Amino acid sequence: MGEVIVITSGKGGVGKTTTTANIGAGLVNLGKKVVVIDADIGLRNLDVVLGLENRIVYDLVDAVTGECKIKQALIKDKRFDGLYLIPAAQTKDKDSVSEQQMVDLCNELRETHDYILIDCPAGIEQGFKNAIAGADKAIVVTTPEVSAVRDADRIIGLLEAAEIENPRLIVNRIRPDMVRRGEMMDLADMKDILAIEVLGIVPDDENVVISTNRGLPTVADEASFSGQAFRNIALRITGQEVPLMDLELDNTVMGKIKRLFGIGK
Amino acid sequence: MNKYVEFKGTSNGLVLSIKPFESFEQILEGVKEKLDASAQFFQGAKIIGVEGFLGEEKQRVALYHLLTDEYNLEVLSLDPLMRMTKSEEVPSEVIEEEEEITEIDYKHVDYNEFDTKIVRHTLRSGMGVAYDGNIVVIGDVNPGAELSAGGNIIVMGKLRGMVHAGKFGNKNAYVIASKMLPTQIRITNVIARAPEGENIDELKPEIAHLKSGKMSIEEL
């Protein structure tokens, strides 16, 4: 019996789609069968981030309205064996799917897959309601900005009202140097306001932009610092206890050499 | 035993209690059965009314004749007792009461002895509580959450949102929080902001109230 997890944030542009793609790929690398669903109808992105745009035949709306079988709407990712995508429809709007249809879709998919990840659209309107309708659990993504944290707080309240208990937090794009200088909110500040369990922290990493544009999740890059963060998150989702990363680590080549000789951090 | 008929004694006389029945014959039989069983007890008894549904006028007359002619009872009335009081007397009183309740002078109520709403969870952004009396929050009030009370507001947690105490103009209203960092604080029509840059980690209960028309925040 699979688990349905919605990935949401309230605010746009904090990295929901990138997070969904990376967690999905990360879970597949742990041997799980995963479906990622792009619930952002009208503004589909997840297919681009995963590099599967040119393989779309059927989409989410086709699948829930019975235009095609659900199996036909699943796009297999050849690089990650066991990862499937249901893309959003691009030419329709959020009202073309109902909450009950999403519940039915999730219930059918959970029979055959270990994890169903839903990439939620920004905002708190119908698209959000559809995306959380079938979910058992939620992951709230935020960045260390006051506005993103404020929206995350609102979303947590709405999730609790929808009886999705204990959402977990991913703080994306942390810049340790700025936190150190006191120019950016640190984890403690965010935990203090949001008061939920932290699932993971992801450092700001320009490799993510590069890999996103190439359509290849960072999680596959063994050398990448942010990829390591997503691998840890995937492990925690499967129930393993992995300590939070020490973002203070100097991860440049010089830093690694220094560590090798036992000097520097 | 006939289960449709019962005689109930009251200080003024007997009341004939009638359960829902199928045919009126059952009622007449029941009356006969009861009266025959203890004829002596009913000697000279007085019937003051009927409880329950008796049916048509014809049936009422039949029952009247049975009681007066055959058993020599004194029958004052066979009207339904309950219904009379309900339909004629009560409504006028109710309307008067409603008119009396309407005006509460919220401005001059002693809120220390007034209704209080207790909220037992953290109020996140977008949530709000509005109440005519006092509000007690057991949990935090996050930025983006709003509280407004006719009386006082007490937050047993961190207050970071917007609070409005004494919204009807009660100048004695106050706000208490375990940690006072509100976005904005209002008492009646006086508006204040929390001092900037001050962020202490430990909880320090403080009270905000009006002192000669100005907002004053002091240690509790």
**B162 confidence band (pLDDT: 50, 70, 90):** very high
Domain limits, chain B:
5-95, 106-219
Q: Is A15 left (phi over 0), alpha (psi -120 to 50) or beta?
A: left
- CA B70 – CA B85 distance, rounded (Å): 30
**Nearest residue in A to B139, CA atom:** A195
What is the predicted pLDDT for the residue at B201?
Answer: 66
- Examine the pLDDT at A187 and tell me if it is beyond 60: yes
Among A49-58, B9-18, B194-203, which is the least confidently predicted range? Answer: B194-203
CB contact B144 to A (< 8 Å) = yes
- Residues of A within 8 A of B125 (CB-CB) are 150-151, 153-154, 157
Of B45, B49, B20, B21, nearest to B34 (Cα)? B45
The reply to whether B127 touches chain A by the CB within 8 Å rule is yes
The pLDDT of residue A40 is above 50: yes
Q: What topology does CATH give the domain A3-260? A: Rossmann fold (3.40.50)
Task: Give residue B91's pLDDT.
Answer: 47
| ipTM exceeding cut-off 0.85 for this assembly | no
Residue B85 reports pLDDT greater than 50: no
Mean pLDDT of A241-245: 89
The CATH number given to B5-95 is 3.30.750
A-chain CB neighbours of B183 within 8 Å are: none
Task: Please enumerate in sequence order all residues whose Cβ is within 8 A of that of A252, keeping only pairs 6 or more positions apart, or say none.
Answer: none
Helix (H) or strand (E) holding B146: strand B146-149
Residue A118 contacts B where some CB pair is shorter than 8 Å: no
Beta bridge partners of B155: B137, B177
For residue B126, the chain A residue with the least C-alpha distance is: A154
A169–chain B nearest CA distance, Å: 15
Q: What is the pLDDT of residue B66?
A: 82
Confidence band of B88 (pLDDT split at 50, 70, 90): very low
Residue B102 pLDDT > 60, yes or no?
A: no
Distance from CA of B144 to the nearest CA of A (A): 7
What are the tens digits of pLDDT across the range A133-152?
Answer: 999 999 999 999 999 999 99
**Structure confidence by residue, pLDDT tens digits, B59-73:** 878 888 888 888 778
CA A50, CA B182: separation in Å to the nearest integer? 43
Question: Which residues in chain A touch residue B126, judged by CB atoms under 8 angstroms apart?
Answer: 153-154, 157-158
Report the CATH number of the B106-219 domain: 2.160.20.70
Residue B87's pLDDT is 43
- Angle at which helix A99-109 crosses helix A126-133, to 10 degrees, equals 30
pLDDT at A263: 63
Q: What percent of chain A has pLDDT over 90?
A: 77
Calculate how close chain B gets to A146, using CA atoms only, in Å: 10
Mutation to test the B interface, candidates A124, A140, A165, A193, most B Cβ within 10 Å? A193
Q: CB B124 to CB A150 under 8 A?
A: no
Task: Compute the average pLDDT of residues A203-223.
Answer: 89
More confident residue, B49 or B170: B170
Q: What is the pLDDT of residue A144?
A: 95
User: What pLDDT was estimated at residue A159?
Assistant: 96
